[in-house]
Structure 1
Amino acid sequence: MKPRNSATTWKARASALLLALLAAPAAAQNLTVATGAPPTSVDPHFYNAAPNFALSMHIFDRLVERDAEVRAYPGLAASWEAIAPTVWEFRLRPGVTWHDGRPFTSEDVAFSVARPPLVPNSPASFSPFVRAIQRTEVVDALTVRFHTALPHPLLPIELGSIAMVAKHAAEGRTTEDFNSGRAAIGTGPYRLASSIPGDRFELARNDSWFGQREPWSRVTYRVIANDTARTAALLSGDVDLIDQVPSTDLARLKRDPRVSIAEIQGLRLIFIAFDHSRTGSLPQVSDHEGRPLPVNPFMDVRVRRALNIAVNRDALVERVMEGAAAPAGQWMPPGTTTHAPEVPVPAFDVEGARRLLAEAGYPQGFRMTLFTPNDRYPNDARTAQAVAQMWTRIGVRTQVEALPWTSYSARSARQEFPARLAGWGSSTGEAGSFLISVIGTFDRAAQRGAANAARYSNPALDALTDRAATLLALEDRAAVLREAIRLASDDVAVVPLFNITNSWATRRGLVHQPRMDERTVAMGTRPAP
């Protein structure tokens, strides 16, 4: 596993970025970014997915922002404090205006935190980040208070995921109104100039932004899903920055004098989730003669454990990811506050997997289909194919169906897949977001399980998650979260595969700051000094 960053490397990059900022030329410059995963909407509350979030960061701001190592710092909120055990007061930054010149106020904040649960057809809602808020109190134009039922120390961190949208522009508008630009009025460093869905977004600098002036007068945010084409676009000079550097190209690009590489240990876990929405037969799961199984085999923990230990994670990292990842037995990577060191990477054990299948009543195994995106995560379809071969070895004959991300995400949200390869980046920097959003029991009213397309449910796990959310002391909260990680691991809530190392490549002459949350933003790119 690559280190997160040595102190020397980090200081050098930080110094280079600072010098670049100071040396940034006054003349207008353009930047062209090529991302490997397509944002599916401009609406910042529609889909809690990294490509969407990255795009929204250019146009919209949040009360609390997070830096490249997911540390919180003031955004649209100048300060915040808990003025009572269940009341958080946020004081807003004065003088901030929307892209259309109207002032940003507490009324916009109240509207923005109320909106996420109301966005229809969201594949993965932002509602878990506002689930603790019982009432929003507008004190005055620049002061807002959030009332919670119980003490909720994580609220400022959670609000770091909620974009502020203009009430006057977004009220009564739909996600499509954001996509067309009619409602896409933010306070961010760039404004949306035009877009071609699935192809590119044109962003123009907001010269009235409250932050430090951006060096790029215009940013073209392109989607180039094909790895080879993305690398070729960089080398030909068609684009200035690419993300998701193909692992097959990484070593070569590091030697190329025309290119600079930026890397950091990422927070994203690649995992496999099994369907828990049905107890009876599952589509595309059958015996070896093609007859549907009478019951859902994934409801049996012995089957899940068998498939878990049948995966050779070292081989995945070495042969598929070519070293650009680290084997995982949980969703938080080592070095984060809530990583549980007592939960190891599962040992590869083919014979043990076969014994567990026999105990569960499947001595000959069965047949199934594993679904995966083919343009969302580095080597996603290749990873699924490798896992399918490992499962076939223990008698679970697995075929892979790979789909474009836009189709995959919509079908996954409708519980159409018996098993799926997916990813989750814990951008809050702690274990709670995965527990609430991905493996928390799906409950729309409680705003839990918004990204739990598999519909896994474990009430004991939910209870630990709720308990952790009320603990004020960081170490007390971390201890409960580590207990939850142990429980989720024992129950095989998901099959964790590996944590990705995030990488970007720029043309020589640019400096890019790598982010643990993998978001690709123009604000992290500067002319080299």
Structure 2
Amino acid sequence: MTTIPRLAAGTLALLLAAAPLQAAELRIGLAAPPTSLDPHFHNNGVNNSQARHVFDALTHQDANQQITPGLAESWRLVDDTTWEFKLRQGVTFHDGTPFTADDVAFSLERAPRVPNSPSSFGTYTKQIRSWTIVDPHTIRLHTDGPSPLLAIDLSSVAIISRKHGEGATTADYQAVRAAIGTGPYRLVEHRPGDRMIYERNPNYWGGAEPWERVTFRIIALGPARVAAMLAGDVDMINEVPSTDMARLRRQANVRLWSGQTNRMTFLSVDVHNEVPIPGNASDNAGNPLPRNPMRDLRVRQALSLAIDRDIIVDRVNEGEAVRANQLVPEGFFGYNPAIQPESPDPERARRLLAEAGYPDGFRIVLHTSNDRIVNATRTVQAVAQMWGRIGIRAAVETMPHTVYSGRTARNELSHMLHSWGAGTGEAAGSFVGIVHTRGGAYGGSNRGRYSDPQVDAAIRQALVTVDEDRRRAILQQTMATVMESRAILPLVFWVSTWATTPDLVYVPQANQATLAMATRRAP
């Protein structure tokens, strides 16, 4: 039994340099299915983790989200608005087609324009206005103003083949036929909602992976994943339920690998609509409210003050979480150390509600996905109880993530539990995704429709500020402004745990990715 925190780079290298394997299959029990295997369709963690097996990006993130070379072996700033990327030579797609700068251009054109995307990858390409192919292995990207984070952003954009991607639809990737990348594995079978099967790419530019075959089985229920692990039906599972941690630590045939992640569970409320979305809020007699109470800062402050985040850490998550008081964990670029954790204060919360005109409270519906967010149902039930003590009577409704994401995107829900991971390793990515006013490449996951022109301007300024001290100051001030608005209520950052058989080592990923490439036999 082993539990490890996030690891230093040297330790990571030692673990992943374990003795080579003979041909073998790795069987992984996965908590949630990808919504799509089109690497440009839906920007979420599960999808992106699966895509990394088949597709590379120009830059890669290591386990601690530090940027390393990918399909680009080097990059440099030519001038304030031009980045030059030197591409690896000799790289081929799975069908043997040579990888060139033309494939990069095609991928950058497609990524932000996939039809009906619930969360667009345009958030990572938004500053690129054009490109110049210098030669087959050199491409220059021209940006709208300075773009100091471009190399980080591009670690999230999969490079696909023009040959196989031109004219291909999302359905073609789902059906495997278009899923041809340069990555360490080839997708050979996809049964939606059930499993994905990969085979090793023997010609991978980074060196052939030791696993000949990798099978991801979708086992949505936590107890069922644990049972499969203990029965030997799988070699590894992700998202070990916090309720099973103590039991598994006593098992001789299980090793646990844990690490704090960048993923936050948070509450988002509708601050956009003048009147509540039908069916989402009412007075205590069940009558529609004439105005949306969430537009009143005092109401949002009351909701936050009613929440005891330590209880959510200790009782809901069995201690396998870290309380959150802003949108990125401590240590991330843009974290504001001046923001103090908020202590629960139900008495003050009730006074604020009374000042806002709701001395007796009101009724709302609190929604969440029941198959994507760790302990989501338990969390919303706990929050509903806490809100009930100040007069906010919250009915809880849960649904599959595939349904939930569609309803939130269509602006049908007012009070929501979500999760978000700071995929770029700094606050700017979170601001772009869940804070900036929705529109174009910005605010794609801003489900509560929070909007502040001054905050938008600050986010855009940070994105073009090259001086790191200045950019940090902008992000920290923006963090303070956003937290003061209480339109987004952070609850906890996840501590993710993977379980493996005793002969395996897994390197926890700060972005929660479950990767065959991070799994090896124990030295």
Shift of 1:344: 1.8
Q: Which residue of 2 aligns with 1:200?
A: 195
> Cα deviation per residue 1:245-277 (whole Å; 9 max; x = unaligned)?
100111221221111111111100100111234
Q: Which residue of 2 aligns with 1:392?
A: 388
Q: Which residue of 2 aligns with 1:210?
A: 205
In structure 2, relative to structure 1, the CA distance for the partners of 1:6 and 1:216 (3 Å cut) is closer
Match of 1:424 among 417, 420, 423: 420
SS at match of 1:270: strand
In structure 2, relative to structure 1, the CA distance for the partners of 1:449 and 1:81 (3 Å cut) is same
Q: Which residue of 1 aligns with 2:281?
A: 285
Separation in 2 of the partners of 1:521 and 1:85?
A: 36
CA contact (8 A) 1:166 1:185 kept: yes
State the one-letter code of the partner of 1:458.
Answer: D
Shift of 1:3: 9.5
Query: Which ranges of 4 or more aligned residues in structure 1 deviate by more than 3 Å?
Result: 2-7, 10-14
Q: Which residue of 2 aligns with 1:464?
A: 458
Does residue 372 of structure 1 match 2:368? yes
CA contact (8 A) 2:270 2:294 kept: yes
Match of 2:71 among 69, 76, 88: 76
CA contact (8 A) 2:197 2:216 kept: yes
Match of 2:56 among 48, 57, 61: 61
Q: How does 1:482-493 map to 2 (within 5 A)?
A: 482-493=476-487
Q: Which residue of 1 aligns with 2:449?
A: 455
State the one-letter code of the partner of 1:17.
Answer: L
Q: Which residue of 2 aligns with 1:86?
A: 81
CA contact (8 A) 1:3 1:265 kept: no
State the one-letter code of the partner of 1:488.
Answer: V
Shift of 1:336: 2.0
CA contact (8 A) 1:194 1:201 kept: yes
Separation in 2 of the partners of 1:6 and 1:44?
A: 28
Match of 2:355 among 338, 359, 368: 359
SS at match of 1:231: helix
In structure 2, relative to structure 1, the CA distance for the partners of 1:5 and 1:164 (3 Å cut) is closer
SS at match of 1:38: coil
Q: Which residue of 2 aligns with 1:180?
A: 175
Match of 2:502 among 501, 508, 519: 508
Q: Which residue of 1 aligns with 2:159?
A: 164
Shift of 1:14: 4.2
Separation in 1 of the partners of 2:337 and 2:403?
A: 37
Separation in 2 of the partners of 1:511 and 1:292?
A: 55
CA contact (8 A) 1:373 1:402 kept: yes
Separation in 2 of the partners of 1:13 and 1:441?
A: 39
SS at match of 1:114: helix
Separation in 2 of the partners of 1:141 and 1:6?
A: 37
Q: Which residue of 1 aligns with 2:297?
A: 301
Separation in 2 of the partners of 1:351 and 1:87?
A: 55
Q: How does 1:24-173 map to 2 (within 5 A)?
A: 24-25=20-21, 27-173=22-168
Question: What is the TM-score with the length of structure 1 in the denominator?
Answer: 0.96
Question: What is the TM-score with the length of structure 2 in the denominator?
Answer: 0.97
Separation in 2 of the partners of 1:436 and 1:13?
A: 30
SS at match of 1:115: helix
State the one-letter code of the partner of 2:155.
Answer: G
Does residue 17 of structure 1 match 2:16? yes
Match of 2:515 among 494, 505, 521: 521
> Cα deviation per residue 1:30-54 (whole Å; 9 max; x = unaligned)?
0011111211100011111100011
SS at match of 1:452: coil
Shift of 1:473: 2.1
CA contact (8 A) 1:45 1:126 kept: yes
Q: Which residue of 2 aligns with 1:412?
A: 408
Separation in 1 of the partners of 2:237 and 2:154?
A: 29
Does residue 270 of structure 1 match 2:272? no
CA contact (8 A) 1:63 1:159 kept: yes
State the one-letter code of the partner of 2:15.
Answer: A
CA contact (8 A) 2:53 2:186 kept: yes
Does residue 439 of structure 1 match 2:431? no
SS at match of 2:212: strand
Match of 2:324 among 321, 325, 328: 328
Shift of 1:305: 1.0
CA contact (8 A) 1:439 1:449 kept: yes
Separation in 2 of the partners of 1:3 and 1:199?
A: 30
Match of 1:247 among 242, 245, 257: 242
Ranges in structure 2 where 5+ consecutive residues have no aligned partner: none
Separation in 1 of the partners of 2:249 and 2:334?
A: 33
> Cα deviation per residue 1:148-204 (whole Å; 9 max; x = unaligned)?
121110000000110001111111221111101121111111111011101100111
Q: Which residue of 2 aligns with 1:317?
A: 313
Separation in 2 of the partners of 1:354 and 1:116?
A: 47
CA contact (8 A) 2:6 2:64 kept: no
